[in-house]
Amino acid sequence: MNKIPMNMPGLVQRYIETNGIRIRIAEMGKGPLVLLIHGWPELWYSWRHQIVALAAAGYHVVAPDMRGYGGTDAPEAVSDYDIEHLSKDIVGILDVLEEETAVLVGHDWGSVVNWTTALLYPDRFTALVNMSVPYYSRGEMSVIDLFKSQFGDNFYYILYFQEPSLAENEFDANPRGILSRLYTSPETPREVPELTDPKMSAGGMIPRLGAPKVLPPWLSQRDLDYYVSEFEQAGFRGGINYYRNFHRNWEITPQLTNAQFKQPTLFIAGAEDAVIGGATADGLVKFMKSAVPDLRDVVLFPKIGHWVQQEAPEETNKALLKFLDWVK
The reply to whether 202 falls in a domain is: yes
Assess if residue 5 is contained within a domain: no
Q: Of the listed 38, 49, 60, 306, which one is catalytic?
A: 306
Per-residue pLDDT of 194-203, as tens digits, reads: 999 999 999 9
Measured distance CA(13)–CA(25) in Å, rounded: 6
Q: What percent of the chain has pLDDT over 90?
A: 97
> Is residue 108 annotated as a catalytic residue, yes or no?
yes
CATH number at residue 108: 3.40.50.1820
Annotation marks residue 294 as catalytic: no
Evaluate whether residue 4 is within a structural domain. Answer: no
pLDDT at 3: 87
| Catalytic annotation, pick one of 80, 108, 223, 273 | 108
Whether residue 1 is predicted with pLDDT greater than 80 in this model: the reply is no
Residue-wise pLDDT for 135-170, tens only, equals 999 999 999 999 999 999 999 999 999 999 999 999
Report strand pairing: 295-301 vs 102-107.
Answer: unpaired
Report which of 286, 259, 249, 292 is spatially closest to residue 128, judged by C-alpha positions: 292
The pLDDT assigned to 2 comes to 84
Give domain status of residue 3, yes or no: no
Q: What is the tally of structural domains in the chain?
A: 1
Euclidean distance between CA atoms 57 and 74, whole angstroms: 33
11, 50 Cβ separation under 8 angstroms: no
Q: Is the pLDDT of residue 122 over 90?
A: yes
Would you place residue 260 in the very low, low, confident or very high pLDDT band (cuts 50, 70, 90)?
Answer: very high
Q: What is the pLDDT of residue 328?
A: 81
CA atoms within 13 A on the CB side of 135: 31
pTM of the model: 0.97
Domain assignment present for 6: no
CA–CA separation, 281 vs 27, rounded Å?
32
How many Å apart are CA 100 and CA 246, to the nearest integer? 29
Crossing angle for the helix pair 313-326 and 48-56, nearest 10 degrees? 40
Region 284-300: mean pLDDT is 97
pLDDT at 185 over 80: yes
Supply the range of the domain harboring residue 306. 12-326
